[in-house]
Chain A
Amino acid sequence: KAGVTQTPRYLIKTRGQQVTLSCSPISGHRSVSWYQQTPGQGLQFLFEYFSETQRNKGNFPGRFSGRQFSNSRSEMNVSTLELGDSALYLCASSSDSGYTFGSGTRLTVV
């Protein structure tokens, strides 16, 4: 059974640009959530999608957005990148057996 796949693994962007990250959940999992991990703030919840609908949202500015497709794959987008957006972005796929995380996308903003 394939795990949670996040692409790309590493990304370098320039301040002011936008970026899109992708997450493919475990087959059959309909819930996908996103977390940001930084040394200063730790692991923080961004948002969660279920059946193409955003069910929960964390306390992040509107520059952070996401969506989910009919096959449960999810993307998150960050517009107008700031240096502080440099982080490891983790995606979690969920079912009634809990939460499984991908390997993350390491975003560096320069």
Chain B
Amino acid sequence: AQSVTQLGSHVSVSEGALVLLRCNYSSSVPPYLFWYVQYPNQGLQLLLKYTSAATLVKGINGFEAEFKKSETSFHLTKPSAHMSDAAEYFCAVTRSNFGNEKLTFGTGTRLTIIP
């Protein structure tokens, strides 16, 4: 079975500060990992994904994540927070990138940006 743990259900950072959202995964097979962002009353928007091509993955809106197998982590970072980054962020794991396996999500981290 696969699982994802997101440490910190709420994270607050000042505008312009570093954003770090933590995700640890458990998987018996090489995982595919995703970060999604959700704004109020919206669906999930893909920020970035790890599909084994490169361990440092760059996504949209200045976000990036690094896959560390030894730490079973896939933390999301952004060098400088912007007010528009306030949203809920979900880390997800699956065994395949082809849609034939379910996504298993973490419980989410709500990011608040302090002006």
**A contacts, CB < 8 Å to B:** 4, 6, 29, 31, 33, 35, 42-43, 45, 48, 50, 55-56, 58, 90, 92-104, 106
A12 to chain B, nearest CB (A): 15
CB neighbours (8 Å) of A29 from chain B are 99
**B contacts, CB < 8 Å to A:** 34, 36, 41-46, 49, 51, 90, 92, 97-108
Across the interface, do B98 and A96 meet the contact criterion of CB distance under 8 Å? yes
Q: How many residue pairs between the two chains, A and B, have CB atoms under 8 Å in the bound complex?
A: 68
23 A-B pairs with C-beta separation under 8 A: A31-B98, A31-B99, A33-B102, A42-B105, A43-B90, A43-B108, A45-B104, A48-B99, A48-B100, A56-B102, A90-B44, A92-B99, A95-B99, A96-B97, A98-B46, A99-B34, A100-B46, A101-B36, A101-B43, A101-B44, A101-B45, A101-B46, A102-B43
Across the interface, do B43 and A104 meet the contact criterion of CB distance under 8 Å? yes
Across the interface, do A45 and B45 meet the contact criterion of CB distance under 8 Å? no
CB neighbours (8 Å) of A104 from chain B are 42-43
Among residues of B, the one whose C-beta sits closest to the C-beta of A6 is B43
**Residue from the set B49, B102, B106, B107 with the largest chain A CB neighbour count within 10 Å:** B102
B89 to chain A, nearest CB (A): 12
Among residues of A, the one whose C-beta sits closest to the C-beta of B44 is A101
B6 to chain A, nearest CB (A): 10
